[in-house]
């Protein structure tokens, strides 16, 4: 029994020797020493992973895929958006030897704990699933699709497309072929692209530039919705947000839309119907190409709305049927022509829409004239009479208001009653049948 008990209480050491009973104290000392060494090594390991938020770059390893990067923290965040199973993801700071599971990132990089917790909180699996049905995201895709812009694609880019865009952006930035354009107030209004090929100017590339350069949300949304212009410049191109003007960009003068015999008023080359989130019309000014907007609550029933471009100062007409239209194919937006007062009668008689038009309708709809200098609107009721009086000397016009009398006198004198300007912005369009019927009813016909 003593032999068996003694044998039972013995065990082998790592070197094969036999150790007697009661190794507890010695073993505990060894374990404590090992644990202390491990803790010290862990602390030393963490100490070597201090983070420079601005300068450090990161590698990203999606589950079952090749590593991607290097990225800034913001780009890393966007890469995370495209993954649903965070337990399988890993990251590595550029220069570090080993990978860190995403779930352990805030432990290994303690100064970024709040950053990683915020990402995990806002981008959980549940939130990722909900992004497909989020009405705000759906709205952005719907507006993009309805814009019919061949340079913009709807939906979310896949991870490979996004990473390719990141790599392209970083490459051009390193070559000095990319910089941000600011206006006088310091607001970011555009991106300068120096000799970047057309094939690389994709929306995904522009989105990554906006994200990596930490541009404001309005800029990023403008890129997503296709609400930007590419303006060619010396040594490259400018991608300008919305209606922002590029450095050195020359806005065409109103004289560039001077009237020509037998020609219609200039028509907008691109009109979009906004039907999600906000409801209205986005169109490019026929004169300068700058985007203009008119929302549904600004469009008057039957009459439509007049919109003045903030850049070239020309005035366009958005028709009433634009309100509630499902697509932009159902209506056109026309701008004014530049016409000297002395040539108004010639312009009106030579306009294609004057043939078959009813002057009785023009006093209420279809014929407009503004001063080209101060945008004073002339009463429509005097315009046809002025045209006739220019051809028929001795015509007597009976004004029905003081304003009408002032306008007709000013036209006869060839000078604006407000600023003495001698040129007009004039517009003549065909009168829709429903408007004709309404005007006839109003006249008691």
For position 402, what pLDDT does the model report? 85
For position 78, what pLDDT does the model report? 62
Q: For 282-329, what is each residue's pLDDT tens digit?
A: 899 999 988 898 999 899 998 999 999 988 999 999 999 998 887 888
Q: For 43-87, what is each residue's pLDDT tens digit?
A: 444 444 677 777 788 777 765 556 666 777 776 766 665 455 566
For position 335, what pLDDT does the model report? 97
Q: Phi, psi (5° rounding) for residue 268?
A: -60, 130
pTM, two decimal places: 0.57
DSSP state of 398: -
Counting residues of the chain whose pLDDT is more than 90, the rounded percentage is 23
* Length of the chain as a residue count: 445
Residues 88, 64: Cα–Cα separation, whole Å: 9
Residues pairing with 121 in the sheet: none
Query: Is residue 372 within 8 Å of 421, Cβ to Cβ?
Result: yes
Quickly count helices (H) and strands (E) in the chain: 15, 19
- What residue ranges of the chain have pLDDT lower than 50? 1-27, 41-48, 82, 124-157
For position 154, what pLDDT does the model report? 42
Contacts of 187 (CB under 8 A, 6+ apart): 216
Q: Environment class of residue 394 by beta-carbon count within 10 Å: exposed (0-12), middle (13-18) or buried (19+)?
A: exposed
Contacts of 415 (CB under 8 A, 6+ apart): 341, 421, 422
Q: Phi, psi (5° rounding) for residue 182?
A: -120, 150
For position 18, what pLDDT does the model report? 45
């Amino acid at each position: 029994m003593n032999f068996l008990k003694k044998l039972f209480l013995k065990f082998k050491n790592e070197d094969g020797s036999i150790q007697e009973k009661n190794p507890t104290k010695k073993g505990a000392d060894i374990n404590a020493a090992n644990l202390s060494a491990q803790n010290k090594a862990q602390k030393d390991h963490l100490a070597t992973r201090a983070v420079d938020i601005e300068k450090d770059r990161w590698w990203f390893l999606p589950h079952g895929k090749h590593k991607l990067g290097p990225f800034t923290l913001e780009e890393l965040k966007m890469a995370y958006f495209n993954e649903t199973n965070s337990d399988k993801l890993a990251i590595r700071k550029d220069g570090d030897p080993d990978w860190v599971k995403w779930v352990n990132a805030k432990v290994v990089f303690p100064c970024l704990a709040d950053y990683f917790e915020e990402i995990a909180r806002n981008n959980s699996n549940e939130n990722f699933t909900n992004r497909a049905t989020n009405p705000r995201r759906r709205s952005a895709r719907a507006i993009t699709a309805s814009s019919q812009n061949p340079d913009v694609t709807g939906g979310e880019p896949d991870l490979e497309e996004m990473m390719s865009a990141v790599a392209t952006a970083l490459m051009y930035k390193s070559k000095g072929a990319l910089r941000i354009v600011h206006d006088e107030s310091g607001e970011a209004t555009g991106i300068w692209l120096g000799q970047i090929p057309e094939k690389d100017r994709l929306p995904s590339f522009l989105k990554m530039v906006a994200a990596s350069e930490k541009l404001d949300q309005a800029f990023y949304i403008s890129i997503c919705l296709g609400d930007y212009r590419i303006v060619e410049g010396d040594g490259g191109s400018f991608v300008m947000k919305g209606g922002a003007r590029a450095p050195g960009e020359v806005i065409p003068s109103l004289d560039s839309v001077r009237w020509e015999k037998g020609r219609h008023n200039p028509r907008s080359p691109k009109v979009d119907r906004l039907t999600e989130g906000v409801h209205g019309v986005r169109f490019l000014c026929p004169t300068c190409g700058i985007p203009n907007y008119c929302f549904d609550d600004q469009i008057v029933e039957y009459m439509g709305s007049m919109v003045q471009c903030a850049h070239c100062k020309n005035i366009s007409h958005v028709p009433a049927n634009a309100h509630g239209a499902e697509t932009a194919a159902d209506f056109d937006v026309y701008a004014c022509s530049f016409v000297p007062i002395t040539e108004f009668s010639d312009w009106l008689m030579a306009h294609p829409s004057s043939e078959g038009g009813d002057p009785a309708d023009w006093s209420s709809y279809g014929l407009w004239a503004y001063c080209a200098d101060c945008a004073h609107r002339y009463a429509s009721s005097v315009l046809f009479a002025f045209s006739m009086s220019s051809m028929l000397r001795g015509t007597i016009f009976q004004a029905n208001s003081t304003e009408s009398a002032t306008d007709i006198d000013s036209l006869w004198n060839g000078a604006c009653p407000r600023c003495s300007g001698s040129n007009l912005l004039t517009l003549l369009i065909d009168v829709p049948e429903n408007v004709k019927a309404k005007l006839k009813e109003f006249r008691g016909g």
